[in-house]
Structure 1
């Protein structure tokens, strides 16, 4: 067969796969939403508009998740431009809006990850009872032998703790897996004496460095059980993913990135994690948390935020530390199989000998223009001068609003060029780390860093006209402005 024929067959296969995925997503509207939704025990619905860019971006993952969840959870979508009554009834005014339905009844807004794998993971927890009833040892083993952690309550039939446990399961089922048994003897092999709750860590994360299960010994309340799960769920060295990264990064975190894949490469995944555990288990009480991650899930972050380029075929792990204050460190020494390089890196970190990694452009050799250029490496010297007021614009070179502002901002800088007490500056926030205390979510974002109060920058919220900038600076500065060489009166 010629190459053209092979290409056509491949295109046909891709088209057929896409068509099958689309068929797995129900198209609902005003005429049939109520009665079709009621036919499904659990359903995830996307309210969308065909012109919405975010909707278009989500659609392939939504279709893929529908294919993977087929037979357990139904996925559906509603075109809000053609079915206004249904969308209005469920409060769909911004797109895409994802909602979970149970037997046709709105069960709340979906707030899980918007990736195919994340939606599958989240929605699987929406099916079945809040807590699975386990009757035998086989039931228990089948439940805890899972990719995720398991929480199992063992209670006597008349225990007062069971209703509170079930209440916690109902509230927390979207985050964790729950089961219960009225036969406490099932928990005896795991140090359970009479009754109580056991947290079983995933078998894939089993190691000789920590116990596979943790016993909850306190009186069962929703708040205390939630706290127990939060403190013990991840263990000494959890698997960092795109779905749990926000929960794990609330602490100072060291992460080891490599070709981790417990489904396709369990042996290699365990090998490197055990090398890491051997080292970090000796540092577990020093205020730093640890994790392993698939480097392919975080490629752009490693390259853009930590300056770690990916050489083709590289097998050795990469190591970073990111603190709650936003400080970043990278291990530049090659990862050694005996863990000695990781040990040296940790010793230097705790001794305060590591140099922080800062994403920064080069400091300009000549910086005499009215608008001063600030980069991450020069931020301290320029913006944090204690006796200078600084108006700082965070911009993106590709931002049309920034380009529109540019002539106004330059004119402002020119008028204040002879003022010895104020600096008008700008920083490319796409090429430099944004310092702590400055919240930059869009462009342009403008802050005023007053003299003597550099830890209290003031966000500029006014219109972007020259007169409004001048009015703002007159109000916030404690010294009179020098405009076009003339000192203003306070």
Structure 2
């Protein structure tokens, strides 16, 4: 046990050593020592930084041996790197920036897990496409990811187009090119071939597809259309590639420990997907543990057993769940009904309150139209989270506001956005988020924003504070009709004796 502990400490130390620690005194000289450096500006107390740290360290260990190598560095913005962080306009944590030749090159906008960081940064260095000889061609195809190879004829018209395409897509696609005579004889001249990873080989589609187009737009479309095949392996790294209408089978997808079992279920999904090829539906398989948050959005919670759980989203982002146990026939019927628009959307909702007579009306997904959209009143709605400290502080103010306005033509409403689906049109990124809806313009929710966040203001954001008087003044000013108890300036009207 003691030996295992020592081994774990050694491994952890080795990973940490792979990331270079820089500060104000050595930052410029440190980044200048490497052709390309990815720098993480962080704060030790930051939760997102703590989550990124082990992924960053794993990526650093891998990228040291990249050809050419990429260095990863970190700067503590609260201590030794304060001036450096100010110099590079670091406003939040973690902030990642790419340095080349000792100078800031660009913001890092890639994935934040180790494999994604490695792939993104490897694409930032060296040529966009690797030149292949007959000797290393097969080795290039051995990696467990898609490879796109150009077979270039001397003086052909594909080369200049391929160079532009590979440079544009280098961050997402692994490119190779060759002019080897034997390879051209086997695969063709001036053609582009997309090779699918060998671990995804199946009987429902070819292991490679090719195009002889020399049109840049056509080649880009060809790569995009064929990159993930009939049923792609959808991961946290490539999730943005899978557009709705989308059907996903969630199960224990593991191509390292259980490739045979993984493909057993994927092949069954593929059999159904094959029947719907060309109909605009995207299919994917995902590791259920990696997408627990999505499954919870579908009301599925923890997935047990070996069989896949199937969920879908249509072009309007409505959610659907296959209730039957997985089988080819059940999936076939589910996709047919999904395609025909016959399925009832899944709506995550708390039960409708038995009584809703409090000072603040409670909205849930199932009664949202009734208490918000079609209530015939101006409405101020708060989307909150039960665990949110700011929401807890706001609660008594909101209750008092509801009591003060009980005789006005204004509804004060709240909704737990963690237990209910937020309707489209309401962008909720944090808690609490408030919207004002004039009674005759319910299709255009207007975000209510604190004065202290004025840097976030857009034309649809309306300003106000979070004290009782702030809300009353705001509603008095923006109400469709003047309030009974307050004038437009928010001053209480005198009551007649």
Contact 1:386–1:454, Cα closer than 8 Å, also in 2 = no
Report how far residue 311 of structure 1 moved.
5.2
Alignment-derived partner of residue 351 in structure 2: 362
**Which of 366, 374, 380 in structure 2 is aligned with 1:391?**
380
Report how far residue 365 of structure 1 moved.
0.3
Question: Is structure 2 residue 321 aligned with structure 1 residue 330?
Answer: yes
- Pairwise CA RMSD: 2.7
Contact 1:359–1:376, Cα closer than 8 Å, also in 2 = yes
Q: What SS does the aligned partner of 2:306 have?
A: coil
Report how far residue 437 of structure 1 moved.
0.6
Question: Is structure 2 residue 29 aligned with structure 1 residue 27?
Answer: no
Question: Is structure 2 residue 248 aligned with structure 1 residue 255?
Answer: yes
Contact 1:165–1:220, Cα closer than 8 Å, also in 2 = no
For 1:352 and 1:19, how far apart are their aligned partners in 2?
Answer: 55
Alignment-derived partner of residue 266 in structure 1: 259
For 1:410 and 1:254, how far apart are their aligned partners in 2?
Answer: 42
For 1:416 and 1:341, how far apart are their aligned partners in 2?
Answer: 52
**Which of 53, 59, 82 in structure 2 is aligned with 1:59?**
53
**Which of 469, 472, 477 in structure 2 is aligned with 1:470?**
472
Alignment-derived partner of residue 438 in structure 2: 450
**Which of 42, 46, 50 in structure 1 is aligned with 2:40?**
46
Alignment-derived partner of residue 240 in structure 2: 246
Question: Is structure 2 residue 344 aligned with structure 1 residue 350?
Answer: no
Uncovered stretches (5+) of structure 1, i.e. residues with no partner: 1-5
Q: What SS does the aligned partner of 1:180 have?
A: strand
Uncovered stretches (5+) of structure 2, i.e. residues with no partner: 450-463, 487-491
Contact 1:184–1:195, Cα closer than 8 Å, also in 2 = no
Question: Is structure 2 residue 37 aligned with structure 1 residue 37?
Answer: no
Alignment-derived partner of residue 455 in structure 2: none
C-alpha distance 467-33 of structure 1, shift in aligned 2 (>3 A)? closer
Contact 1:360–1:376, Cα closer than 8 Å, also in 2 = yes
Report how far residue 203 of structure 1 moved.
2.4
Contact 1:156–1:184, Cα closer than 8 Å, also in 2 = no
Q: What SS does the aligned partner of 1:365 have?
A: coil
**Which of 62, 70, 75 in structure 1 is aligned with 2:72?**
75
Report how far residue 110 of structure 1 moved.
1.9
Q: How many residues align?
A: 472
Aligned pairs (5 A) from 1:50-449? 50-72=44-66, 73-80=70-77, 81-136=79-134, 138-183=135-180, 186-187=183-184, 189-190=186-187, 192=188, 194-221=189-216, 223-248=217-242, 250-302=243-295, 304-310=296-302, 312=304, 314-336=305-327, 339-385=328-374, 387-419=376-408, 421-449=409-437
| CA deviation profile, 1:91-144 (whole Å, cap 9, x unmatched) | 4343322223345443322221111232223233334422111232x4332223
Contact 1:154–1:184, Cα closer than 8 Å, also in 2 = no
For 2:222 and 2:465, how far apart are their aligned partners in 1?
Answer: 49
Q: What SS does the aligned partner of 1:383 have?
A: helix
For 1:167 and 1:266, how far apart are their aligned partners in 2?
Answer: 36
Q: Which moved more, 1:321-330 or 1:29-38?
A: 29-38
Contact 1:155–1:184, Cα closer than 8 Å, also in 2 = no
For 1:459 and 1:186, how far apart are their aligned partners in 2?
Answer: 60
Report how far residue 9 of structure 1 moved.
4.4
Report how far residue 199 of structure 1 moved.
2.2
Report how far residue 41 of structure 1 moved.
4.0
Q: Which moved more, 1:290-299 or 1:8-17?
A: 8-17
TM-score normalised by the chain length of structure 2? 0.87
Q: Which moved more, 1:432-441 or 1:56-65?
A: 56-65
For 2:5 and 2:420, how far apart are their aligned partners in 1?
Answer: 42
TM-score normalised by the chain length of structure 1? 0.88
C-alpha distance 410-483 of structure 1, shift in aligned 2 (>3 A)? farther
Q: What SS does the aligned partner of 1:297 have?
A: coil
